[in-house]
Chain A
Amino acid sequence: MPRIAPGQSDTLHLEIAFIFREIFDVNAQQEAIAAYSCFHTVYGTSLLTRKGVNMTKVLNRRLDVEAIEFFLRTRYPGNLLTCKLWACAYLYEAQEGVAPRGRIQVRLGRLTSPLLCLVILTWFGVRSAVKWLKGGLQVYWHHLL
């Protein structure tokens, strides 16, 4: 896989580690970290054209990356953070060999009842609305754009 500059590689290492922990509740393995750097090299030109977000602030202040991403996705579809999160989902899937699971979903792994699924979806709807508000506040409060 193509190489990336050492300094930038460190930042990307922190990014993927943060996203994997916050969203998927697992640690990113070396292969996924290397592939995440490769992703930025291969698709870097296209990513530069996306609406950016200050990832350093997100990481240093340990902000709610899920909330910020959701808010940005509704306001700026295809923004840089959504691309990064999407890339992490692919890398998770390749790392674990299963569909990416969220922090919450791990606890719901055995759930098979359609009715319970609908209830949980409703809950996710409400939760997403709260996340959206939280994400919006964090974006403007911390000047992330």
Chain B
Amino acid sequence: MTLDADVIIVGSGPAGAAAALELSKITEVLMLDIGHSAPEESPGVDRFVELLGERLEGMSIISEPYLSPKLRSPFFRYVTRSWRELSPIHSSDFKGELSLALGGLANAWGSGLYEFDDTDLRGFPISYSELQPFYLSLTKHIGISGGGDEVASVLGSRECLLPPMPLAGTLKALYAHSQRPKVKAFLHRNRIHIGRQRLGILTEPHRGRPAYSFDGKDFFRPWKAAIYNPAYTVRELEALGKLRFRRGVLVKQFKEFPDRVRVDAVDLSSGQPVEFSAKRLLLGAGAINSARIVLQSFKDYSTRLPMLENPISFVPFIHFASLGSDSKENSFTGAQLALIFDGPEHRDRVQGSFYNLSGVLSSDFLFDFPFSASGNLFCLAKILGAMGVLQIYYSDAPNPASFLSLSTEGALELHCPARRFGKVEGKLINALRKMGFWSAPFLVRYAEGGSSFHYAGTLPMREANDSIGFSTDRFGRLNRCKHVYVVDASSFPLLPAKNLSLTIMANAMRIASKLVL
């Protein structure tokens, strides 16, 4: 039997790209994915088409369910293209999105790249020291910008960081306020820490990629090489001849043999089934799609797999002293500041990210103000620039209400109810007021189930491998299998309140580094 490669990786998102990066040191890898890509950049693009789209996709929130601005943006539509047809989900409460694009959902991410410390890794059978070398290696590979202030110790090591992104607008004022001694003492008494973000955005040229330049088009142009995307790693390895990327392939299932594993897929261009064989298979298709492949492989229509996601809430606020300022002041559209809260109001540490409201179309907010049209238009011009949003992430642990299973028709039945907290928001609103920023509990919005896009825990990692249900050992190997490994967030037994992308990548590299061929 001829093998197609030593190792097959399914998925080209953060997990697949990082595993390939590590494996490329020892062998050539075959990567399978559908791999939708951004449209080619063309210089003379029409402004209507760029901002709103050929079919006015950018205006969809007027009459369709809410979709985040970046995913709604015409040139970013490839990120979520065709997943509903190719990876069907039946759910009444899952309002999230999946991606079949090269680079996965990271094509539209907020670029927050944090390390999990040992507090975050409680419940994992691995420790920070096992991930640390890979965090460092990724920091050098990606080019991560960040600060050295009080949240730095929680977000991870300061080694090899690029200078932090410059702050602008309301959030520049917020950071300045938070650093005043009296305010800082108040924040510390309330177990609140505010500091610079750690982002996969280049503040200096790095490994052939340019530094970030502001043009206010982050939400409309997917070609900004300064903002890291795992697709860059895939293409780089491909160019070096260390990875073969097979695009347009939908992986359905795998079958193990004593000396190899066979992957059964469908070539989407011909509709024909195709097979690939390798010594090892690494599943990195994301927590939901990797779970689907496993359940399909075992034709298991009864097992309920746990499903984790970070519940999130949004706290809008306003800085009255900034009223009248320009809402389009030069500032990147990712999170500018990070917040860590570890008070008694919640069982686990809570993480927040501060965003300003520049970058997206102002019309998105037209009816978020309580006046007639002229008053609301005045607010867009003079009030929006003084506003910001604190996005709060909560941790998640397995619970009976959130799970997925496979139906006999091949669709996933997914239950992912929205959850609301509230005590933490109240505490943080008080802190914002103390800093001169106004907000109120009635303004807080809670996201619907699945809308954090942080999915994990479907095939959890356990200390001792068992044969009950589906899980992996500490090296990512799927129980009941000899040659199949899970490298994405499926294997996270718990989900801390932190952006998980960097840890997905570090863990994928850790698993890849231990792989015996």
Contacts and interface: CB of A to CB of B under 8 A. Distances in A.
Interface string A1-39: 110000000000000000000011000000110010011
B362 A112 contact: no
Nearest to A22: B373
A125 B327 CA distance: 22
A127 B363 contact: no
A102 B322 contact: no
A17 B51 CA distance: 21
A125 B375 contact: yes
Nearest to A124: B375
A67 interface: yes
Nearest to B64: A46
The A interface, classified by DSSP as helix, strand, loop or mixed, is: helix
Contacts of B8: none
Contacts of B383: 117, 121
B421 interface: no
B56 A105 contact: no
Q: How large is the interface on A (under 10, 10 to 19, 20 to 34, 35 or more residues)?
A: 35 or more
B51 to A, nearest CB: 5
A120 to B, nearest CB: 7
B372 A94 contact: no
A42 B55 contact: yes
Q: Which of A50, A99, A103, A135 has the most CB of B within 10 A?
A: A99
Nearest to A73: B367
A46 to B, nearest CB: 4
A34 B379 CA distance: 28
Given A83-B62, A117-B323, A104 B363 contact: no
A111 interface: yes
A47 interface: yes
Contacts of B375: 102, 121, 124-125, 127-128
A144 interface: no
Interface in B40-76: 47-48, 51-52, 54-56, 58-60, 62-64
B63 to A, nearest CB: 4
B298 interface: no
Most buried by A among B52, B327, B328, B384: B52
Interface string B356-395: 0000011100110011111101111111101000000000
Interface in B310-363: 320-325, 327-328, 361-363
Contact-residue size bin, chain B (C-beta under 8 Å from the other chain): 35 or more
Contacts of A116: 324
Nearest to B322: A114
A38 B363 contact: no
B372 A128 contact: yes
Given A100-B380, A104-B374, A90 B325 contact: no
Contact of A127 (B54, B322, B328, B374): B374
B359 to A, nearest CB: 12
A105 B372 contact: no
Nearest to B382: A117
A139 interface: no
A23 B373 contact: yes
Contact of A102 (B321, B327, B370, B373): B373
Interface string A42-54: 1100110010000
Contact of B371 (A82, A97, A109, A125): A125
Given A86-B367, A99-B380, A124-B371, 16 more contacts: A23-B374, A42-B56, A70-B372, A83-B63, A85-B373, A86-B59, A90-B59, A91-B48, A95-B48, A99-B328, A100-B377, A112-B324, A113-B324, A114-B323, A121-B383, A135-B372
25 contacts: A1-B54, A32-B48, A43-B59, A43-B60, A43-B63, A50-B63, A85-B373, A90-B52, A99-B328, A100-B363, A100-B377, A101-B377, A102-B373, A105-B378, A112-B325, A114-B321, A114-B322, A116-B324, A117-B383, A121-B375, A121-B379, A121-B383, A124-B372, A127-B374, A128-B375
Top 3 A-B residue pairs of the complex, sorted by shortest distance between their CB atoms: A124-B375, A102-B377, A99-B362
